[in-house]
């Protein structure tokens, strides 16, 4: 979204339509958390145009091919750059070494290693951030409360109408609106990462969720699942920044 906005004023308002279409299309295909900010604008617009009129199942099937292919390019350059950027909010040198080892495992298709490694780091990151090492889930509650997520009153999912309203905004108001939308997706997805799932529900047991993975119920150890966990960690990195801003 930031990449789109950087060039919007240099092209025309038609670019905003691609922003809306890409957000909706990625969400329909189950890839709402994927960071495509460095993808060539022509490439992503062509991808969105090709998928827009297809059924959700087709969108998911094609994105499951296109997105891993993009992140494999040039020895996983985009994924490597994303993880390198984590030094901003993940300062712990030992933990960053763990992330680099997970990247190595992913590159060599050792997805059981990358998935288990990344899922196990989530709690440590948040406990270090909150300084809460006590038993129970207070560390998680404090984190979600501070970044503004109330499970009793969650933000409503963004609809096509809400995104269309974004396009109608004057260009100078779109940046803040896109920041709000980005934070919305971050809050929802971070909560899903921590949420306690029902192990008997096949959909819950196959979700990218730390609870399911660390209890050994999760069995989908593949490239797509490994990538999605990297992307959710990228959202967690973003949420850590949000937490610190609000604490300050």
**What's the CA gap between 27 and 15, in Å, rounded?**
19
Local confidence band at 18 (pLDDT 50, 70, 90 cut-offs): low
Q: Count H helices, E strands: the chain?
A: 12, 0
Q: What is the pLDDT of residues 88-135, one digit of tens each?
A: 999 999 999 999 999 999 999 999 999 999 999 999 999 999 999 998
Name the nearest CA neighbour of 191 among 246, 147, 133, 224: 147
Rounded Cα distance, 223 and 43, in Å: 22
- What are the residues whose beta carbons fall under 8 Å from the beta carbon of 141, sequence distance 6 or more? none
Question: Contact, 208 vs 232, CB < 8 A?
Answer: yes
Give dist(CA 50, CA 71) in Å, integer: 20
Q: How confident is the model at residue 148 (pLDDT cuts 50, 70, 90)?
A: confident
How far apart, in whole angstroms, are the C-alpha atoms of residue 53 and residue 100?
39
Asked if residue 147 has pLDDT above 90, the reply is no
| pTM (2 d.p.) | 0.85
Please provide the average confidence, as pLDDT, over all residues in the chain. 85
Burial of 238 (0-12, 13-18, 19+ CB in 10 A): buried
Q: How does 122-159 read in b/e, with b if 16+ C-beta sit within 10 Å? A: beebbebbbebeeeeeebbebbbebbebeeeeeeeebe
Average pLDDT on 169-187 reads 69
- Mean pLDDT for 19-40 is 81
When pLDDT is averaged across residues 26-52 and rounded to a whole number, the result is 85
pLDDT band at residue 19, thresholds of 50, 70 and 90? low
Angle subtended at Cα 122 by Cα 4 and Cα 104, rounded to the nearest 5 degrees: 75
pLDDT band at 12 (very low <50, low <70, confident <90, very high): very low
Transcribe 117-147 into DSSP letters.
HHHHHHHHHHHHHHT--SSSSHHHHHHHHHH
């Amino acid at each position: 979204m930031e990449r789109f906005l950087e060039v919007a004023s240099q092209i025309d308002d038609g670019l905003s339509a691609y922003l809306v279409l890409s957000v909706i299309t990625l969400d329909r295909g189950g890839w709402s958390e994927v960071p495509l900010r460095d993808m060539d604008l022509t490439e992503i617009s062509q991808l969105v145009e090709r998928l827009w009129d297809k059924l959700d199942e087709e969108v998911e099937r094609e994105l499951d091919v296109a997105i891993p292919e993009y992140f494999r390019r040039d020895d996983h350059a985009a994924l490597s750059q994303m993880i390198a950027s984590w030094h901003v909010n993940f300062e712990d040198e030992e933990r960053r070494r763990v992330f680099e080892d997970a990247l190595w495992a992913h590159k060599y298709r050792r997805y059981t290693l990358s998935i288990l490694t990344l899922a196990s780091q989530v709690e440590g990151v948040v406990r270090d951030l909150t300084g809460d090492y006590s038993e129970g889930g207070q560390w998680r509650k404090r984190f979600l409360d501070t970044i503004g997520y109330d499970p009793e009153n969650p933000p409503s999912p963004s609809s096509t109408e809400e995104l269309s309203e974004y396009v109608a905004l004057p260009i100078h108001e779109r940046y803040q609106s896109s920041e709000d939308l980005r934070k919305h997706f971050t809050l929802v997805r971070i909560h899903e990462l921590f949420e306690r799932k029902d192990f008997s529900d096949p959909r819950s047991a196959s979700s990218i969720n730390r609870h399911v993975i660390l209890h050994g119920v999760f069995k989908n150890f593949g490239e797509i699942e490994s990538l999605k966990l990297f992307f959710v960690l990228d959202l967690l990195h973003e949420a850590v920044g949000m937490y610190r801003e609000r604490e300050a």
